[in-house]
């Protein structure tokens, strides 16, 4: 997961995310892969390590993990960052999930960014490879996280794309995820052929409304060529099968 954008308001939270990865690293589309950990977690699965980059639980909590700059891939002696969303999603709220992650030893993992959200709002967590992960609650509005700090306009992708998301209704965010225009270093939808086999491999649109059921629309490939389709799973609180 390399970019996630959140709109946080009185009606809930809407999120859009592109996952960027080496295209030869195998993965599976969202489903319930972890009944032995906690029933009702649905997300994409990384085949190599068994974890996820983005998932939701039956309580309407979203958890996503991103690599920080210069930490792509596994490292000897470090746990997979893909287990972090699964740990957070064993809780019934984003706040409780953040408390779980905040109690961990960040040295167990390569540096990471996490985004947790539910209908009440969003939370950013940074793990810097030592001490405890740091927790920051997002203010209302539109925010963007990539491989560094949230809303950091010194990062060319944030400087280019955050204003565009902030100006557009969320109904247009799927099209914004698909955009390949602009300089290569600023592209949100990364073409793997131009980046040595590293590129955007899938995308998600997640709605966490107040007083309603969470939804997850998933594009099983780069969002300029793959259609977003609704993911349906199990028994969720407040939702039908």
Percent of the chain with pLDDT over 90: 83
What is the reported pLDDT for 234? 58
Q: How many residues does the chain have?
A: 241
HEC profile of 171-214: HHHHHHHHCCCCCHHHCCCCCHHHCCCEEEEEEEEEEEECCCCC
- Listed residue (190, 109, 118, 112) closest to 145, CA to CA: 112
Q: What are 73-110's pLDDT values in tens digits?
A: 767 888 999 999 999 999 999 999 999 999 999 999 99
Whether the model clears a pTM of 0.75, i.e. scores above it, the answer is: yes
| Cα–Cα distance for residue pair 27/53, rounded to 1 Å | 10
Which CATH architecture is the domain 3-230 placed in? 4-Layer Sandwich (3.60)
- pLDDT band at residue 237, thresholds of 50, 70 and 90? very low
| Cα–Cα distance for residue pair 160/177, rounded to 1 Å | 12
Q: Where are the domains of the chain?
A: 3-230
Q: What are 109-166's pLDDT values in tens digits?
A: 999 999 999 999 999 999 999 999 999 999 999 999 999 999 999 999 999 999 999 9
């Amino acid at each position: 997961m390399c970019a996630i954008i959140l709109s946080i308001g009185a009606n809930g939270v809407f999120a859009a995310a592109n996952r960027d990865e080496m295209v030869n690293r195998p993965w599976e589309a969202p489903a319930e892969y972890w009944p032995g950990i906690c029933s009702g977690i649905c997300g994409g699965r990384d085949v190599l390590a068994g974890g996820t980059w983005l998932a939701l639980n039956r309580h309407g909590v979203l958890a996503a993990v991103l690599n920080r700059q210069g930490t792509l891939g596994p490292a000897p002696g470090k746990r997979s960052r893909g287990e972090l969303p699964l740990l957070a999603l064993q809780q019934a709220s984003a706040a409780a999930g953040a408390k779980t992650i905040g109690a961990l030893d960040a040295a167990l993992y390569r540096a990471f960014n996490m985004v947790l959200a539910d209908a009440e709002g969003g939370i950013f967590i940074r793990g810097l490879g030592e001490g405890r992960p740091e927790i920051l609650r997002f203010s209302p509005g539109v925010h963007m996280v990539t491989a560094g700090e949230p809303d950091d306009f010194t990062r060319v992708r944030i400087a280019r794309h955050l204003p565009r998301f902030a100006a557009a209704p969320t109904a247009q965010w799927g099209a914004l995820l698909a955009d390949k225009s602009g300089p290569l270093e600023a592209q949100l939808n990364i073409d793997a052929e131009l980046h040595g086999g590293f590129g955007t491999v899938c995308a998600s649109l997640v709605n966490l409304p107040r007083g309603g059921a969470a939804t997850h629309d998933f594009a099983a490939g780069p969002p300029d060529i793959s259609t977003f389709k609704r993911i349906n799973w199990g028994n969720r609180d407040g939702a039908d099968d």
